Amino acid sequence: MKDFRSVADAVAEEIAAGRLKGGERLPPQREFARLHAIADSTASRVYQELARRGLTVGHVGRGTFVTEAPGAPAPAPALSEPADSRVDLELNHPVVPEQAGLLAAGLEKLVRSERLESVLRPVGPAGTPDAREAAADLLARGRWRPDPERVLFAGNGRQAISAAVAALTRPGARLGVEEFTYPVLKAIAARLGVTLVPLAMDGDGLIPEAVEEAHRADPLHAVYVQPVLHNPLSLTMPARRLDRLADVLLTSGIDAIEDAVWAFLRDDVAPLASRAPERTVLVDSLSKRLSPGLSLGFAVAPAAAGRVAGALRSGGWTPMRFPLEAMAQWQADGAVDILVRAKRREAGVRQEIAHRHLGGFRTCGDPFSYYRWWELPGPWRADTFVAAAARQGIAVTPAAAFTSGRHRGPQAIRLGLASPTRETLSRALATLADLARSAPDDFAGE
């Protein structure tokens, strides 16, 4: 029985050799299954794997196409769950040993009979006054604290982003994004009929002049930006760059969606929202701070609060009351601050592990970040390295997953350092380092 990865590798080689060209349509999955003598379910996994590597893109009603040619469809959509991978360096879920005990103590207070009835009542996007005050304290950083009256809630961070995009744009609108951007944002834009406009970056993040230039060429409706601990590059904009970007937004009348999901790891940096509040919707979430299973999103929208609240309601993205109350309890108990400090320390430890194994390669990662960006040594290509790593039981993400334009991007991968244990992470990075020092041909027959 053929393994889906080996079939995907064969298709990847066809693409690399130019026998399958950019923009070319692959056969329907059932036909593909017959051609390769595999089950329909295996063919489906092959197509999922090709999309995950950034080699193909699927369009409902049209089919699956090879990426990268002029006029080809947009790059691959959001990341999928890695299939059957023993070590997950794709998804990033920071966990520290003390979090279960700290969170359990807060939950015990919520499930007492005298509180449980109120905790289980429905709630809208504005939450409750106590929850808004707690959220304002939780989101505060760099001498900035949002106005609690402008804090809205969503079921999770992705829903908060979706609501912000829906509120600030419309179908056919142009949304400026960094040239490397959050993959889920690409899927959100496609679903809402919004066109992404790639904007140039440098070592300090998004270049404000690139925003001005794109806006002059054809007006932008909004810009989505990750100023602090950018995913995947781990860049943080210095204060001067943030000030300049705020000036561009205010002068040009462009709204911004500021994704601050990882910014809790750098509380010394005041957000873009503190510099251009009337033009910025800041979005954040609870799960990275506390635990992967704790889902709650935040949107701070001083000027567009009504539109964002409307988008949350119409999209069905309003929160449940229980996580709202739990967040307020953990914030009051000090559990949030304890866990945030622990996760900052843990990020530093994991970056040191990465540096120990990958110090001889071209990588970058902020000491407070849980990501590492790796520019692969030649002759490795990102797609073949991802496939070779998968055969070693390690899931990593190719640069193509993050590109916002039609080009595939550099021969690089992103490593998520948070999910495995330290020992597992160390072994996995040692394996990847050995793999990078080998020739791609060494693994062609595996």
pLDDT in tens, 401-437: 999 876 667 999 999 999 999 999 999 999 999 999 9
Neighbours of 78 (CB within 10 A): 16
In three-state secondary structure terms, 281 is strand
Predicted pLDDT at 68: 54
pLDDT in tens, 122-137: 899 999 999 999 999 9
pLDDT for the residue 8: 87
For residue 170 the two structure tokens come to 């419309």
Residue 72 has pLDDT above 70, yes or no: no
Is pLDDT above 70 for 59?
no
pLDDT tens for residues 364-381? 999 999 999 999 999 999
Residue 445 is given by DSSP the state T
Q: Cα separations (Å) of 187 from 105, 168, 324?
A: 37, 17, 27
Q: Work out the pLDDT band at 79, boundaries 50, 70, 90.
A: very low
E strands along 370-410, which residues? 371-375, 394-395, 397-398
Question: CA-based Rg of the chain, rounded to a whole angstrom?
Answer: 22
pLDDT in tens, 315-336: 999 999 999 999 999 999 999 9
For residue 81, is pLDDT > 50? no
Q: What's the CA gap between 83 and 60, in Å, rounded? A: 22
Average pLDDT of the chain to the nearest whole number: 89
Q: Which of 28, 257, 65 is nearest to 163 (CA)?
A: 257
Task: Inform me whether the pLDDT recorded for 86 exceeds 90.
Answer: no
Question: Is 262 within 8 Å of 228 (Cβ atoms)?
Answer: yes
**What per-residue string of b and e applies to 271-295 under the rule 16 or more CB within 10 Å gives b?**
bbbbbbbebbbbbbbbbbbbbeebb
Q: Are 364 and 234 in contact (CB under 8 A)?
A: yes
**Sign of the torsion formed by the C-alpha atoms of 315, 318, 319 and 324:** positive
Q: Please say whether the beta carbons of 328 and 355 come within 8 A.
A: no
Q: Which residues on adjacent β-strands are paired with residue 49?
A: none
Q: Which 8-state DSSP code applies to residue 180? A: B
Give the pLDDT mean for 257-265. Answer: 97
Does residue 319 have a cis peptide bond before it, meaning omega lies within 30 degrees of 0? no
User: With 0-12 CB in 10 A as exposed, 13-18 as middle and 19+ as buried, what is 144?
Assistant: middle
Which amino acid appears at position 115 of this protein? Answer: R
User: Residue 122's pLDDT is what?
Assistant: 84
Q: Is the dihedral of CA 161, 164, 166, 171 positive or negative?
A: negative
Tell me how far apart the alpha carbons of residues 384 and 394 are, in angstroms, rounded to a whole number: 13
Show the tokens assigned to 222.
């909004």
Per-residue tokens: 93: 């879920």
CA distances from 97 to 78, 103, 108, 342, 417 (A): 30, 11, 19, 9, 16
13-35 per-position pLDDT tens digit: 888 778 888 778 899 998 898 88
**Given this model, what pLDDT does residue 53 score?**
81
| pLDDT tens per residue across span 215-243 | 999 999 999 999 999 999 999 999 999 99
Tens-digit pLDDT profile for residues 341-366: 999 999 999 999 999 999 999 999 99
Q: For the segment 282-310, what is each residue's pLDDT rounded down to a tens digit? A: 999 999 999 888 899 999 998 888 999 99
